Homo-oligomer: A and B are copies of this chain.
Amino acid sequence: MRRASQRDNTYELYYWRGLPGRGEFVRLTLEAAGVAYRDIAQEGGDGAAALTSPMWAIDGNILKTPSFAPPLLRHGELVIGQTANILGYLGPRHDLAPDDEAGRLWVQQLQLTLADWVLEIHDTHHPIASGLHYEDQAEEAARRSEEFLLSRLPKYLDYFDGVIALSPGPYLAGPRMSYADLSLFLVVEGLRYAFPTAMRRREACHPAISTLVEAVLAHPPLATYWHSPRRQAFGDGLFRFYPELDALARKSDD
């Protein structure tokens, strides 16, 4: 049975059960592409139990390309790790990346910048160790969040605002929506959840970013997914709402 699924060409996503996390960047690309895929750990069964970090094996078979951490995408004989690498593989196959090399390098550069941003967002609530609870690093989290809201959040928003201004539009890299647009959409939605006070104020100064988010959400397959019960709500994972961290935004208004 498993051998059969290995041989066919259905995309299989492996990611932790119960949180959208970095797996959601892959889901958005697969959903926008309108392709069928299996979300292994969400299916129940033993898929979730099999996930580890590092991930050395699937179904008891040692991987030739083990991953340091999920998400992983299996496609036929390929097992691909690292979110940006997965998207760089999917994008050109599903019209979610430019056709030329220069365009593909540019979209991947944007994706890697988004990955840096995402790690900084994660570290606002886990500045000491991802293996410790938030409560055990809440004091440091407050300090890091204050710095993030004061200097890093505006710097990243300014950058992507500038990229949109340079683009022939309406998307980051021109007329075609790419996986980087989908990822920026998710980062903005996640930030609206985690830091609503700061984002209300900052987005008012960066209307081009809000416009791009709306354009992505106007894409029918993506909108259908985003508003469906299949989409997992934010909560644990990358984007978290702690009122005491959100409240720090007011300080930088002084």
Chain A residues within 8 Å of B, Cβ to Cβ = 54, 56, 62, 64-68, 77-78, 80-82, 84-85, 88-89, 102, 105-106, 108-109, 112-113, 116, 119, 123, 127-129, 131-132, 140, 143-144, 147-148, 151-152, 155-156, 158-159, 162-163, 166
Q: Which of B80, B109, B152 contacts A82 (CB 8 A)?
A: B109
The answer, among B80, B108, B109, for a CB contact under 8 Å with A105, is B80
**Cβ-defined partner of A66 (8 Å) among B77, B80, B81, B166:** B166
What is the minimal beta-carbon distance from A96 to any residue of chain B, in angstroms?
A: 17
Residues of the B chain whose Cβ atoms lie less than 8 Å from the Cβ of A155: 54
Copies of this chain, tallied across the complex: 2
Q: Are A166 and B132 in contact (CB under 8 A)?
A: no
Give 7 nearest A-B pairs by CB, closest first: A129-B147, A82-B112, A68-B113, A81-B109, A82-B109, A65-B106, A54-B159
A171 CB to closest chain B CB (Å) equals 14
Selected from B62, B85, B123, the residue in CB contact (under 8 A) with A112 is: B85
Residues A162 and B54 in contact, CB atoms below 8 Å apart: yes
Interface CB pairs A-B, < 8 A, 26 = A54-B155, A54-B159, A54-B162, A65-B102, A65-B105, A66-B162, A66-B166, A67-B109, A68-B113, A68-B116, A68-B156, A68-B159, A77-B102, A78-B102, A82-B112, A84-B112, A85-B105, A88-B108, A119-B119, A127-B127, A127-B128, A127-B140, A127-B144, A128-B140, A129-B148, A129-B152
The reply to whether A163 and B66 contact each other, CB–CB distance below 8 Å, is yes
A128 to chain B, nearest CB (A): 5
A166 is contacted by which of B62, B105, B140 (Cβ under 8 Å)?
B62
